[in-house]
Amino acid sequence: MNTRPVEPRGSVGGPLTPFLMLGLAWAVIALMWLSWLAGWIAAAVTGQPAIGPGFGSAYLEYLLRTEWSALWPGASPTVVGLVFAVLLLMLVCLITLTAMWWQGRKPDAEDPLPSLAGPAEVRAMTLSAVAAKARRLRRGLADAAVREISAESAGVVLGAHRRRRGSGPRLYSSWEDVILAVMAPRAGKTTAMAVQSVLGAPGAALATSNKPDLWATTAALRAERGSVWVFDPQSIAHVPQGWWWNPLASVEDVEDAHRLANHFVQQVRNSQGSDDFWIQGAQDLLTSLILAAALEGRTLTSVQAWLSDSTSREPATILKSHGFGASARAMSGRQAGAPETREGLYETARTAAACLANPTIMAWVTPPDLPLPTLEVEAFVESADTLYLLSKDGAGAAAPLVAGLTDQVLRAAVTLAEAHGGRLDPPLVACLDEAANICKIADLPELYSHLGSRGIIPLTILQSYRQGTRVWGERGMDALWSAATVKLIGAGIDDARFAEDLSRLVGEHDVTVASRTRDGKGHTSYQTSVRRQRILDPAHIRALPKRSALLFATGVKVAMLNLLPWYDEPSADRLTAAVAASTAEMTRQAQRTRAARRDRLTQRSWRGRAG
């Protein structure tokens, strides 16, 4: 028995036959009426009286007998034929356009848009809705009319709602949403997500990246609002050092030291999120050393020196003198243990804090020789300044310091929010691009659960879900996913398991299936049934086009978005000029750095020959 979809043309004896015969009859009637109309029009055009028979049986009789003179007295059959041809062409064009319009509106089982969120279902994320919400959440907007609240003051733009015929309104997250974006490289995560969030931040903005493009695109425009601070110890954007930051300035107790130590240990923690003996011991060791240095008003230089000498008693002495007896005893106990154990702990700690051995990196976190301003984290979160944190990934990179500074900014923002009734106004936006590479904050999933309620809006951008599990483990990444109230899934999802999970979250819809069955005796039967089918199967999710994203928002049906890259925005000309200027300056600085390095190598070579 053969079963296949029924084609629209049907077949003789099939269920379409009565409709085809009826349609054919009406087509014949329409053509006859068209010929009658052509005769009347031809008579009017040539100035002859229209005295032929009306449209009816008499006209049909004359038409069948081809008695043209009786049909259109005084009108030339040639003129009538030309008018008829024109009318027929117009009718065919009208029917064709109508059919195309209808076909365009007709839902397709392979088209997910009719089954995704429609205009009514995303209304809560339109500008007017989030502006009304912003007036409730932000003290500074309490007296403003909703229509007077700008898009930047209302929320973070996510993209334009995609519909079957073009784009709909722009959709925004509110000032109590926390955002997670999973997008492959070149899918628009920087041009459409990171740039938009930084430029639109109404208050302080923090951005992390391992590339200079985000800084190059946004720094000039952000400088119009406040100061721009660029942390670039590895010369990613080749921005000269213009300030420094003391990571130990906010360390007052064991908890503070433990958090800072954790950012270093994250560089060597395994992908399962569990700690073995050496990693946990290294974190405890770094906690003691960091606390000792902070209590004495020292810098990370002392921490690095103590790491190099596993027998130094100075840290334990400092801890004891400041009343941290338990920490002092733990420190002494590690040093008094078996040499193999002691050296293993110290070596693990040295590996985790490898960046402290790099003088170029240390110059940004220790007092400079020249007078440079100090970044005061508490003052930053109250400002409209912008902080760019740039680092490479890998061993010895400045990533632990990027994570540490980000963490201190978030904690300072929480403290400020508590001092202002529980919520920051204006909100702080933290765009954590490449978070799984250069900003591995261990408890980020837990922070996500409450930052939004305090007016602190994190946007964490990952290249894949699996990348997140390597940093926070399965449970941690699941917690981060669950805590994010707005989730964006862009192009390039190659994780089959994640794509399957997304497909199931998008859901199913009813699809009408028509089939024709022919048995061995030549009898044909027709059947129409309804089946449940995935709106988007994993293959379709993987094949999402660039500049597109699926929006998973709490309380809202899944929607499709068109992303909004900065080069398509009204400010594109200004941003393009800013990129050109920043790139030119970056090139000049890179050339100076290269020339200086070449001179140093040349001098070293000459000294070697002279020796």
Q: Model confidence over 35-88: pLDDT tens digits?
A: 777 776 766 666 666 556 666 666 666 566 665 555 666 666 777 777 778 877
In a domain, 370, yes or no: no
Task: State residue 519's pLDDT score.
Answer: 64
**Predicted pLDDT of residue 49:** 61
Tokens (6 digits) for 129: 């809705």
| Residue 386 resides in a domain | no
Checking if the pLDDT of 374 tops 70, the result is yes
The answer on pLDDT for 272 being more than 50 is no
Which residues have a Cβ under 8 Å from the Cβ of 176 and sit 6 or more positions away? 133, 137, 452, 453, 455, 485
- Looking at 106, 140, 156, which one is the last position of a domain? 106
Residue predicted with more confidence, 576 or 106: 576
Phi, psi for 367 (deg, rounded to 5): -55, 130
Q: Is residue 332 part of a domain?
A: yes
| pLDDT for residue 343 is more than 80 | yes
Query: 597 pLDDT exceeds 90?
Result: no
Query: Is 150 a domain residue?
Result: no
Q: Are 491 and 548 in contact (CB under 8 A)?
A: yes
- The pLDDT value recorded for residue 7 is 38
Average pLDDT, the chain: 87
- pLDDT, one tens digit per residue, over 281-327 is 999 999 999 999 999 999 999 999 999 999 999 999 999 999 999 99
SS3 101: helix
Does residue 575 register a pLDDT over 70? yes
Please check the confidence at residue 571 and state whether its pLDDT lies above 70.
Answer: yes
> What is the bridge-based pairing of β-strands 548-553 and 156-163?
unpaired
Amino acid letter, 531 = R
* Confidence grade of residue 13 (pLDDT, cut at 50, 70, 90): very low
Q: Which two tokens stand for residue 576?
A: 């393009």
Mean pLDDT of 118-135: 96
Of 126 and 104, more confident: 126
For the cut 90, the answer to whether the pLDDT of residue 478 exceeds it is yes
Q: What's the pTM value of the predicted model, to 2 decimals?
A: 0.83
> What's the pLDDT at 474?
94
Residue 66 lies in a domain: yes
DSSP track, 504-571 = HHH-EEEEEEEEEEE-TTS-EEEEEEEEEEESS-HHHHHTPPTTEEEEEETTS--EEEE---GGGSTT
25 pLDDT exceeds 80? Answer: no
The answer on pLDDT for 199 being more than 60 is: yes
Can you give the pLDDT at residue 103? 65
Residues 6+ apart with CB under 8 A from 501: none
Domain presence at residue 31: yes
**Segment among 456-470, 520-534, 563-577 with least mean pLDDT:** 520-534
**Arithmetic mean of pLDDT, 572-600:** 90
Domain finish residue from 106, 129, 157? 106
Quick check: is 578 in a domain?
Answer: no
Tell me, yes or no, whether 424 lies in a domain.
no
pLDDT of residue 270: 64
The pLDDT value recorded for residue 604 is 72
Q: Is the pLDDT of residue 14 over 60?
A: no
Residue-wise pLDDT tens digits, 243-264: 999 999 999 999 999 999 999 9
Give CA–CA dist 525/510, Å, rounded.
23
331 is in which domain, residue-wise? 251-356
Mean pLDDT (whole number) for 168-175: 96
**Residue 380 is which amino acid?**
F
The pLDDT value recorded for residue 92 is 83
> C-alpha dihedral over 19, 24, 26, 28, to 10 degrees?
-170
Higher pLDDT, 251 or 165: 251
In the 3-class helix/strand/coil scheme, how is 203-223 assigned residue by residue? CCEEEEECCCHHHHHHHHHHC
pLDDT confidence of residue 177: 97
| Mean pLDDT of all residues in 392-396 | 88
Q: How many domains does the chain have?
A: 2
Average pLDDT over residues 561-574: 95
Range in 34-43, 50-59, 176-185, 465-474 the model is least confident about: 50-59
Give 391's pLDDT tier (boundaries 50, 70, 90).
Answer: very high
Among residues 356, 387, 409, the one where a domain terminates is: 356
Dihedral, CA of residue 456, residue 505, residue 151 and residue 390, to nearest 10: 50
